[in-house]
Amino acid sequence: MSKTKTQFVCSNCGYISPNYLGRCPNCGEWNTFEEESVTKTDPQKVNTSRVSFEGKKSRPQLIDDVDAHDAPRFQIESNELNRVLGGGIVPGSLVLIGGDPGIGKSTLLLQVSGQLSQAGKRILYVTGEESADQVKMRADRLKVNQNDNLYVFPETDMTAIREAIANVKPDVVIVDSVQTMREDEVASAIGSVSQVRGVTADLMNVAKTNNITIFIVGHVTKGGAIAGPKTLEHMVDTVLYFEGDKHHSYRLLRAVKNRFGSTNELGIFEMADTGLHEVANPSEIFLEERLQNATGSAIVVAMEGTRPILVEIQALITPSVFGNAQRTATGVDRNRVSLIMAVLEKRAGLMLQNQDAYLKAAGGVKLNEPAIDLAMAISIASSYENISTDPRECYIGELGLTGEIRRVDRIEQRIREAAKLGFKKVIVPKHNLDGLHVPDNIEVVGVTTLREALKTSLKK
């Protein structure tokens, strides 16, 4: 006979405690324990081995005997999503997509379902938050291709979902969302830590044993993390975050984990009435509203994975009213701003200790690579000296604590992107000039120190 007991589970890391604790001893987070009821079953009656729908079981075998049939990735019409996934969808992979409510997760996956069904793939769209009629209405509004390969299944019970997958035999399954699904063997409320973990483990077995690609939609908490235990992200193959500002129409898709590709890739979409449209050239978007002859502005060629993007770094330096100067940053690391201002004061003689500094990466993009240091330093000095930079120049380089400009990677790709958008001059680290092939329509200037870069860029 099964027994029921009460336990407390940390929603952040999944740590289990028999009693309530204010702070989790495993991850150190406060007020993350949730109470849940667990029914103990006879271990002999529980079958947790991996068995496919055809009855094939996993077995130990020599690695030389493994049939490594190279299942090719299948492409989507959206090149942005293909890039973030590492070149396309890997058969048998488990992909988790998280994001704020209303950001466009369901819209993206419904559009992808239509594209894949049109390409001949069989799709099963499992929705636990909407009815079939509501999904149909949204598909009509988005003009999603609807044919015999696209199935909609409004259900939350995992037993029924497994039966539907076995009957339909889809190539791709969409689960929207994992927090609404229920595993019968787990005796706790829908959306609890145990339910989310059990549902994900069940979907992982289905994906791996039957070579079916499964996309899971995950809700996020107020802190921006995917709701549920942190082990949820460890169980899946790929974790994608859908980001964006509610006041802007652009959406950014980032991979924070990818077993089959890079985690540095970035996909950019624009939300419209007819759904999400991919942005082929994001650099033009980030620079289209730049003012001419504005002080405190500098253009950097940043790398997002394999893609170079030109972004405007804006700085505003004003005298401090309070005793301690403020350092505020949006889209760039605040600690990096403080470090660069310290180097400017020590190595370039700018008195910034009594100045408030406000820095921003225009367009809502987040930059976090060393190559943006030089552009940040130029923008800060430009605002402080009230001298505008040349709108046809861009800046690439890492700034050292002794004031040296250090080399960066993929310099030729960055320069080609700047030349393609009409820039006439780019300032780079001098050590990057060795063996460099420069396009004919752009001038490349190498600098060694911060003082040399400021003297080259800021001319009264």
| Contact (Cβ atoms closer than 8 angstroms) between residue 337 and residue 327 | yes
Do 311 and 265 lie in one domain? The reply is no
d(CA 456, CA 453): 5
Tens of pLDDT along the chain (460 residues) come to 456 778 888 877 778 888 999 998 888 888 888 887 766 554 444 445 555 566 667 778 788 877 765 567 888 888 889 989 988 999 999 999 988 888 889 999 999 999 999 999 999 999 998 999 999 999 999 999 888 899 999 999 999 999 999 999 999 999 998 989 998 887 777 877 778 888 999 999 999 999 899 999 987 765 556 655 566 788 899 999 888 766 678 888 988 899 988 887 888 898 888 889 988 778 877 787 788 888 999 999 999 877 899 999 999 999 998 778 899 999 999 999 999 999 999 999 999 999 999 999 987 788 989 999 999 999 999 999 999 999 899 999 999 999 999 999 999 999 999 998 889 999 999 999 998 888 888 999 999 999 999 999 987 5
Do 227 and 351 lie in one domain? The reply is no
CB atoms closer than 10 angstroms to residue 431: 15
Q: What is the pLDDT of residue 45?
A: 43
Do 372 and 251 lie in one domain? The reply is no
d(CA 435, CA 204): 48
Q: What is the pLDDT of residue 221?
A: 64
Domain that holds residue 8: 3-42
- Binding-site residues from annotation: 99-106
| Helix or strand (DSSP H, E) at 415 | helix 411-420
Q: What is the pLDDT of residue 43?
A: 42
Q: What is the pLDDT of residue 375?
A: 96
Do 220 and 294 lie in one domain? The reply is no
Domains: count for the chain: 3
Do 346 and 441 lie in one domain? The reply is yes
- Binding-site residues from annotation for ATP: 99-106
Do 234 and 254 lie in one domain? The reply is yes
Q: What is the pLDDT of residue 72?
A: 79
- Would residue 451 count as lying in a domain? yes
In sequence order, which residues have a C-beta less than 8 Å from that of residue 23 and are 6 or more positions away? 29, 30
- Would residue 64 count as lying in a domain? no
| Helix or strand (DSSP H, E) at 272 | strand 266-272
Please report, for the domain that includes residue 83, its CATH number: 3.40.50.300
Q: What is the pLDDT of residue 223?
A: 59
Q: What is the pLDDT of residue 42?
A: 46
Alpha carbon of 422 to those of 205, 329, 415, 439, 442: distances in Å? 51, 28, 11, 12, 8
Q: 205-244 in b/e burial notation, b at 16+ Cβ within 10 A? A: bbbbbbebbbbbbbbbeeeebbbbbbebbeebbbbbbbbb
Do 292 and 274 lie in one domain? The reply is no
Burial class (CB within 10 angstroms; exposed 0-12, middle 13-18, buried 19+) of 48:
exposed
Q: What is the pLDDT of residue 1?
A: 46
The reply to whether omega before 177 is within 30° of 0 (cis) is: yes
- Would residue 50 count as lying in a domain? no
Q: What is the pLDDT of residue 132?
A: 93
CB atoms closer than 10 angstroms to residue 161: 23
